[in-house]
Structure 1
Amino acid sequence: MSSSYEKFKKRRLITSYFSVVLSIFLVLFLLGILGLFFLNSKKLSDNFKEEIPMTVFFKNGANDSVMKAFAQELKTARFVKNSVFVPKEEAAKRESEDMGEDFMAFIGENPFENSFDIHLNSAYIRNDSIKKIEDRLKKNEMISTVNYDKVLVSLVNDNIEAASMWILYASIFLLIVAVLLINSSIRLSIYSNRFIIKTMQMVGATKSFIRKPFIWRSVLLGGIAAVLAVAALVASLFVIDENYPKLNIVQDQLMTGLVLLGVIVLGIFITWFSTFFATQRFLNLRTDDLY
């Protein structure tokens, strides 16, 4: 009978520890994801900005020397990240593939112009900067038109700052929720041992002596949850880097390491803090209040 009871208590204790570790792990993992996302928000926004193309079309009278001179100019321009020359024959071929038929057979000539697809550096994807670049390019008499999505540029610049602020607010909110959830899990764990705490106190044990094993146990559980959260975050980073290599999300090792270290420190600190005050609360209660 006593053996069955001991096994029941042991299973119940393991279940309690598992629930505490799981709750701390989930909260720390979400915090870590938000922290990494916030630190890389500029990189993400820059990458999105640099995907917005600017297309420069040349008049049919522009010869190869004009194209080569312009290509060389783009290589030395600070506002250019990369550029690709698109011959009008290739543009017509793409259009035919998109339409599923050879449209040139109907019109009898190629209506397209030679062009350059230019991707600008993110610092220049602003309404004023990109307008100056457009005016500069149009000074070339052989350029017919310069096209880019003006509406998209405006939307990107208007919304990225707002999105960054919302991410910051969400991180602060989740941090508060994390503290409350972890604190609740720890307090429930301590609550199940309230009679042991009071019994130890009644036989003369000091408060620090009583708190010590509970604090060490909680810190250990918090450390395990933090390590698991860090492992999950590292795995997530490699998955993101494999699927989106342009972001170079694992290249900034210092900031990434600081976030991961912060997750571990936060997991240990919150569990220590919560356990200290939870045990202190039951130490200060009268015996009758335990019920």
Structure 2
Amino acid sequence: MASTFDQYQKRKLISSYVSVVISIALVLFLLGCLGLLVLNAKKVADHFKEQVVVTIYLNESAKEVEINQLEKSLAMAEYTKKTEYVSKEEAAELMKAETGEDFMDFVGYNPLQNSIDVYLKADYVTNETLDGITEELANKKFIEEIRYDNDLVELMNDNVKKITFWVLILSGLFTLIAVLLINSSIRLQVYSKRFIIKTMQMVGATKSFIRRPFIGKSVQLGVVGAIVALLGMGVVLYYMDKTFPELQLLQSPVLIASLFIGILLLGILITGISTFIATQRYLNLKTDHLYY
């Protein structure tokens, strides 16, 4: 009978530990994923900004030397990520591929113009910079027109600011929720041992002696939970990098390592402090109050 009871108690204890580990792991995993989002928010925003194209349309009278000189000067400009010369023949082929029809069969000639597509670095994708580029190139006689989506640039910059603000707000809120949830799990764990704590205190054990094993066990559970969370984060990061290779999510190993270490330390810190507070509470309670 005693053996059966001991086995029951052991299974109950293991089940309790597993539930605490799962709670810690889930909370730290979600917090870590949010951290990955915060770290890569600028990289994602920059990726979309660098898809904005400034198209410079050239006159038919433009000489090859003028075009080459313009393309080289644009490529060397501090705001340029890359340039691409598109002849009117290439433009016609692209339009044919997009529409599925050869428009030259209807008009009898190619009305398109030679052009240079300029892709800007993310920090320079602003209306002020684009207006400055337009003014700088406007005095060149062989340039017919400079075109870019002004509304898209303005909308993109506004959305980036809004998203950044809310991501920071959510990060702070979620960190607070993570602390409260882990603290709640640890307090329930300590609550189930409140009578053991009080019994040890009644036989003369010091408060530090009583706290030590509880804090040690909670920190162990915190480490295990953090490791499980980090494994989940690693899987998410791997598949995100495979799905969106252009974002180069794995190109910042120092930042990623810092985040992983931070999640591990957070798991240790929260569990340790929560256990200290919870055990201290029951150590200071009178015996009669343990039943409430």
How far residue 158 of structure 1 moved from its aligned partner, in angstroms, is: 1.8
Matches of 1:20 and 1:42, distance apart in 2? 35
For residues 184-263 of structure 1, what are the structure 2 equivalents within 5 Å? 184-263=184-263
State the Cα deviation string for residues 209-236 of structure 1 (Å, max 9, x = none): 1111111000000011112222222332
The match for 1:121 is 121
For residues 143-222 of structure 1, what are the structure 2 equivalents within 5 Å? 143-222=143-222
- Tell me the amino acid that sits aligned with residue 135 of structure 1: E
State the Cα deviation string for residues 122-180 of structure 1 (Å, max 9, x = none): 12111111100111122221111111110111112222122212111111101110110
Q: Would you say 1:30 and 2:26 are equivalent positions?
A: no
Matches of 1:259 and 1:104, distance apart in 2? 56
The match for 1:97 is 97
Structure 1 residues not aligned, in runs of 5+ = none
State the Cα deviation string for residues 213-270 of structure 1 (Å, max 9, x = none): 1110000000111122222223322322232233232222222222111111110010
How far residue 29 of structure 1 moved from its aligned partner, in angstroms, is: 1.6
1:176 match: secondary structure? helix
2:270 match: secondary structure? helix
Matches of 1:233 and 1:144, distance apart in 2? 51
Q: After TM superposition, which residue ranges in structure 1, 4 or more long, deviate above 3 angstroms?
A: none
**Percent of residue pairs bearing the same amino acid type:** 47
1:84 match: secondary structure? strand
For residues 123-142 of structure 1, what are the structure 2 equivalents within 5 Å? 123-142=123-142
The match for 2:107 is 107
The match for 2:12 is 12
The match for 1:49 is 49
- Tell me the amino acid that sits aligned with residue 40 of structure 1: N
The match for 1:84 is 84
2:54 match: secondary structure? strand
TM-score where L is the length of structure 2: 0.94
How far residue 289 of structure 1 moved from its aligned partner, in angstroms, is: 1.5
2:229 match: secondary structure? helix
1:264 match: secondary structure? helix
Matches of 2:123 and 2:38, distance apart in 1? 19
Matches of 1:11 and 1:140, distance apart in 2? 82
TM-score where L is the length of structure 1: 0.95
Matches of 1:134 and 1:266, distance apart in 2? 50
State the Cα deviation string for residues 25-48 of structure 1 (Å, max 9, x = none): 111122222223223322222222
- Tell me the amino acid that sits aligned with residue 148 of structure 2: Y
RMSD across aligned positions (CA): 1.5
Structure 2 residues not aligned, in runs of 5+ = none
Larger displacement relative to structure 2 (88-97 or 165-174): 88-97
Matches of 2:105 and 2:44, distance apart in 1? 44
1:40 match: secondary structure? helix
Larger displacement relative to structure 2 (146-155 or 37-46): 37-46
2:7 match: secondary structure? helix
Q: Would you say 1:277 and 2:277 are equivalent positions?
A: yes
- Tell me the amino acid that sits aligned with residue 38 of structure 1: V
- Tell me the amino acid that sits aligned with residue 233 of structure 2: L
2:56 match: secondary structure? strand
State the Cα deviation string for residues 16-70 of structure 1 (Å, max 9, x = none): 1111111111111222222232233222222221111111111222243332222
